Amino acid sequence: MIIITAEDLKARLLAGEKVNLVDVREPHENAEFNIGGVLVPLGKIQTMQTEELDELKNDEVIVYCRSGNRSGQACLILETMGFTNVKNLVGGMLDWQAKGL
């Protein structure tokens, strides 16, 4: 599994790059703080209900959660489903916020 740091992702967003972000947290977590990703909770990914992501199978997809654990699981599942370029945001939103990004 490939990882991306909060600093690298923030730099890409500031540069205006179009990135495909997927938030695998629960809706209440997303409502508290998010960086604009599509909300697809880990439970939906575990049951392979990922229709909203299917068009991204061959694109880069950056997955994030609170700490990086759930997104790591999601990355592994997505890879088994045929996604070819999945990256995990290491440290998740906790790291993002701790660094003041």
- Please pick, among 65, 74, 86, 89, the residue that the annotation labels catalytic: 65
Beginning with the edge strand found earlier in the chain, give each strand of the sheet holding 60-64 in spatial order. 2-4, 85-89, 60-64, 20-23, 38-39
Query: Any catalytic annotation for residue 75?
Result: no
Looking at the DSSP assignment, which residues form a beta bridge with residue 21? 62
Q: What are the residue ranges spanned by the domains of the chain?
A: 2-98
Per-residue pLDDT tens over the stretch 29-63: 999 999 999 999 999 999 989 999 999 999 999 99
pLDDT reported for residue 1: 83
Which CATH class, in words, describes the domain spanning 2-98? Answer: alpha beta
User: Which burial class, exposed, middle or buried, applies to 85 when counting CB atoms under 10 A from its CB (0-12, 13-18, 19+)?
Assistant: middle
Percentage of the chain lying above the pLDDT 90 cut = 96
pLDDT reported for residue 19: 96
Per-residue pLDDT tens over the stretch 70-88: 999 999 999 999 999 999 9
Q: How far is residue 64's CA from residue 67's CA, in Å, rounded to a whole number?
A: 8
**pTM assigned to the model:** 0.96
